[in-house]
């Protein structure tokens, strides 16, 4: 059997048994955006790690090193945002091929420091080594939250409103533009969305402190895949409406001009790093009001249901079962 036969999340499920040797302080281990554990009676810590590998997560010839540095830290911060936490300390490990020069590395770390400064995150150290192949960047980030405010994928309830906190599909379109050699100032917003995501820490904290949402995740693998994670962990299904999926005017213009599939880009690719969550129907309006009052977005896109599949209501009113598929490292 090969990894591609079970996929990334099948592999995670396969290895997670037997990992907790001392579980008395662990609240949530493998299976969410962060692991959650107690370091004292007052503090709940969040721990996440993400690896970016050249030719898989980025193309050296396409992304400026400063933006790559910012993105490397931003994708980790997004996991903290998805749990309702505040990022605090990071360590960075880099495997460097001899084709990468010192100027590139200076700009890479300048980008990381820029993102860290915006969110008051300490860069505490890490490791460096030579790489015989691609450039590899791995960041481990620690955050904090009150235990009662931490949000999980597993808390959704039947009848919840499903919401997004920003438009989706732009980062996927940006990658599509790069891969197909269509770069121009006309599509700058889409390329920027792919190169320079911004972690929604403020949005995540607003949701967490209200204590009304039942579940939360960041959109890294695509709306369908990440909503699928919530459905799997919460043991339910969902129906979403295509007409309610928020997208930008530039994405719609790009898809119209080049006859690209906007539904695919919006639902099945990812790297938007907005938040996707569920909230009881009776609390949805209050959550929307509070988010918008804090300069954040709230877009209702559907509801959770008892049936275990994921369904999409098209613009014509037809309903179809769609796969919870998106980015998977091994497929």
| Better-scored residue on pLDDT, 270 or 38 | 270
Write the DSSP symbol of residue 166: S
User: Do 259 and 185 belong to one domain?
Assistant: yes
On whether residue 326 sits in a domain, the answer given is no
pLDDT over 70 at 3, yes or no? no
Q: Which of 102, 119, 148 is the last residue of a domain?
A: 148
For residue 15, the model assigns a pLDDT of 54
CATH number of the domain where residue 68 is located: 3.30.1330.10
On whether residue 186 sits in a domain, the answer given is yes
Give Cβ neighbours of residue 257 (< 8 Å, ≥ 6 apart).
none
Considering its fold, how many domains does the chain have in total? 2
User: Do 161 and 14 belong to one domain?
Assistant: no
pLDDT over 90 at 6, yes or no? no
**Any idea which of 11-25, 36-50, 235-249, 304-318 has the lowest mean pLDDT?**
11-25
User: Do 160 and 75 belong to one domain?
Assistant: no
User: Do 99 and 232 belong to one domain?
Assistant: no
On whether residue 71 sits in a domain, the answer given is yes
On whether residue 112 sits in a domain, the answer given is yes
Give Cβ neighbours of residue 213 (< 8 Å, ≥ 6 apart).
151, 207, 277, 278, 279, 283, 287
Work out the average pLDDT over 3-28.
68
For residue 63, the model assigns a pLDDT of 93
Give the C-alpha separation, 52 to 139, whole Å: 9
DSSP states along 4-46: HHHHHHHHHHHH-TT--S--TTEEE-TTSSSEEEESSSS-EEE
User: Do 295 and 156 belong to one domain?
Assistant: yes
User: Do 141 and 157 belong to one domain?
Assistant: no
On whether residue 40 sits in a domain, the answer given is yes
On whether residue 329 sits in a domain, the answer given is no
CATH number of the domain where residue 203 is located: 3.90.650.10
User: Do 157 and 303 belong to one domain?
Assistant: yes
Span 89-144, pLDDT tens digits: 888 999 999 898 889 999 999 999 999 999 999 888 788 888 998 999 999 999 99
Work out the average pLDDT over 209-216.
97
Q: Tell me the residue range of the domain where 167 lies.
A: 152-321
pLDDT over 90 at 180, yes or no? yes
């Amino acid at each position: 059997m090969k990894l591609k036969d079970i996929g990334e999340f099948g592999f995670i499920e396969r290895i997670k048994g037997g990992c907790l040797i001392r579980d008395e302080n662990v609240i949530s281990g493998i299976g969410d955006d962060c692991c959650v554990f107690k370091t004292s009676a007052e503090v709940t810590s969040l721990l996440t790690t993400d690896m970016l590998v050249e030719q898989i997560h980025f193309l050296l010839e396409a992304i400026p090193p400063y933006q790559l540095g910012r993105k490397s830290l931003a994708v980790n911060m997004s996991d903290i945002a998805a749990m309702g936490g505040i990022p605090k300390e990071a360590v960075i490990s880099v495997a460097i091929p001899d084709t990468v020069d010192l100027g590139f590395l200076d700009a890479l770390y300048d980008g990381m420091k820029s993102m860290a400064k915006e969110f008051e995150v300490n860069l505490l150290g890490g490791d460096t080594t030579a790489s015989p192949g691609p450039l590899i960047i791995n960041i481990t980030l620690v955050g904090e939250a009150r235990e009662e405010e931490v949000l999980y994928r597993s808390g959704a309830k039947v009848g919840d409103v499903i919401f997004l906190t920003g438009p989706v599909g732009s980062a996927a379109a940006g990658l599509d533009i790069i891969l197909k050699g269509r770069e121009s100032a006309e599509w700058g917003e889409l390329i920027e969305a792919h190169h320079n995501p911004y972690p929604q820490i403020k949005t995540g904290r607003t949701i967490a402190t209200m204590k009304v949402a039942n579940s939360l995740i960041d959109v890294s693998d695509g709306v369908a895949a990440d909503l699928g994670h919530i459905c799997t962990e919460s043991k339910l299904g969902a129906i979403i409406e295509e007409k309610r999926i928020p997208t930008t005017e530039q994405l719609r213009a790009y898809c119209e001009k080049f006859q690209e599939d906007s539904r695919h880009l919006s639902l099945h690719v990812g790297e938007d790093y907005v938040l996707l969550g569920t909230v009881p129907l009776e609390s949805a309006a209050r959550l929307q009001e509070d988010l918008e009052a804090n300069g954040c977005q709230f877009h209702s896109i559907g509801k959770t249901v008892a049936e275990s599949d994921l369904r999409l209501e098209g613009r014509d009113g037809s309903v179809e079962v769609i796969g919870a598929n998106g980015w998977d490292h091994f497929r």
